[in-house]
Structure 1
Amino acid sequence: MSPIFVRSLPFGLYIALLALEGLLPDWVLGFDVRWLYPVKAGLVALALAVLWRHYTELKSRLPLKHVLLSLAVGIVVLVLWVNLDAGWMLMGEMGKGYNPTDADGQIDWLLVAFRIAGAALVVPLMEELFWRSFLQRWVQQPDFMTLNPAQIGLKALFIASALFAVEHLQWLAGLIAGLAYGWLYIRTRNLWAPIIAHAVTNGMLGAYVVATGHWRFW
């Protein structure tokens, strides 16, 4: 299979399902559309599993020092993310977000578990394969599979990060996150580094959102 196809399919599937989810009202024929998130994450996880053998860059191990660096970057991005929400830092208005509470304000912990699992385990794999492994290298060199990540230049880093930012309502936070994850990929030459950092950011963001009730960040 084409290296571009196998790195783009899970991401494209996720975006298509996200668009479909956005077109549906809060309730459709009595179905709580919040349960579309685990369906969406599950389908993307299935696509990743089917295509896993093609992701050769995920067969390498990450040294402990790079694991620690990735953890630190993930935490820094999280701190910035929850503070970069001023009006000019957004593309539109922050809505109510993904709110897992019922009419009485009680949290549905199964919804929370699916949300955090999808955001911390599925999304980082899907997005880093697309944005860093494919796009960031492809901008630098169309024959991207032969490119050592250390050879990625500033132009490719900024272009991929800017496009990554457009994907997010919080464009400034998204830009900084894209630059941080992209830099990690270049610095470590290992895709697991940005995946781990991304997973830490998303996982801890989920914990923060649940603890504070700031559902808008979801």
Structure 2
Amino acid sequence: MPPSPAALARILPFAAFMALLGLRGMLPELPGLDARWIYSLNLLIVGGLLAWYWREYGELYRKNLPTAREAGFSAAIGLVVFALWIELDAPWMQLTSPTASFFPVDASGALIWPLVLVRWLGAALLVPVMEELFWRSWLMRWLESPQFEAVAPQRVGLKAIALSTFVFMLAHTLWLAAIIAGLAYALLYIRTGKLWCAVLAHAVTNGALGIWVVQTRQWQFW
């Protein structure tokens, strides 16, 4: 059975993001070609796809915004995940050796602020929406039932939570941190029934991580 329009609306932005990530890694180093700027295409292409399909994301309509209490709780969870993420980086907690693939600095070591801004905006604003639509709104519920739109978050079972979190883990270098993050965002979604809560927590995690990375220059976390 081909994917439904609702499924495609959640899959295609994620696929575009992963394709651009692969393209940036494959481009050779050539004079005048700075592959780091490929990341800016995410804001245009992935952001454009999210805007194009926005009507398919009923969970993100204004009526489904979190309450002040839910927003505060989600932000707190996001900060906890951030604090754990930067600590859970021992060698045995990594699927592969960490590699810093994004250095927003020039030859003298000075920050290239337009690159920093592009990377931070992508990580803090774009990625949380795109990933939560893919991992939690689609994949987790699809694992519960192929008619995923009919699955209320509160009805998602342990098997779907575990499998979607496992695949989420495989997409990250820090496997233990990714498991904790994936479970935290999934449980927020299930508990509140609002995808915005997972998006907000994810955005706080990534936003705080980006600020910390720039301040400490621990580029391997980016």
What is the TM-score with the length of structure 2 in the denominator? Answer: 0.95
- Please tell me whether the aligned partners of residues 185 and 191 of structure 1 are also in contact (alpha carbons under 8 angstroms): yes
> 2:111 aligned with 1:113, yes or no?
no
Deviation, structure 1 residue 2: 1.6
1:16 corresponds to which residue?
19
- 2:97 pairs with one of 72, 87, 93: 93
Structure 1 residues 62-117: Cα deviation after superposition (integer angstroms, max 9, x where no partner): 11111011101100100011011111111111112311111111101111111100
Q: What are the Cα deviations for residues 113-137 of structure 1, in whole angstroms up to 9, with x where unaligned?
A: 1110000110001000000000111
How many angstroms apart in 1 are the aligned matches of 2:142 and 2:81?
25
Q: Aligned runs of 1:33-182 on 2, under 5 Å?
A: 33-59=35-61, 60-182=64-186
CA distance in 2, matches of 1:77, 1:212: 18
- On the 8 A contact 2:24/2:36 being kept in 1, the answer is no
SS of the aligned residue for 2:111 comes to coil
Measure how far apart 1:200 and its partner are: 0.3
**Cα deviations across residues 141-190 of structure 1 (Å, max 9, x unaligned)?**
22110111011111111111110010001111111100000000000100
SS at match of 1:31: coil
Tell me the C-alpha RMSD between the 2 structures. 1.1
Q: Residue 28 of structure 1: CA displacement?
A: 2.9
User: How many residues get paired?
Assistant: 217
The whole-number CA distance in structure 2 between the counterparts of 1:13 and 1:37 is 11
Which segments of structure 1 move beyond 6 Å, counting only runs of 4 or more? Answer: none
Q: What is the CA-CA distance between 1:40 and the residue it aligns to? A: 2.5
Q: Is the 8 A contact 1:97 1:217 kept in 2?
A: no
Deviates more, 1:40-49 or 1:122-131: 40-49
Distance 2:133 2:122 in 1: 16
3-state DSSP of counterpart to 2:53: helix
Structure 1 counterpart of 2:43, one-letter code: A
Quick one: distance in 2 between partners of 1:139 and 1:41? 29
TM-score (norm 1): 0.96
Structure 2: unaligned runs, 5 residues or longer: none
Matched, 1:206 2:210: yes
Structure 2 SS opposite 1:28: coil
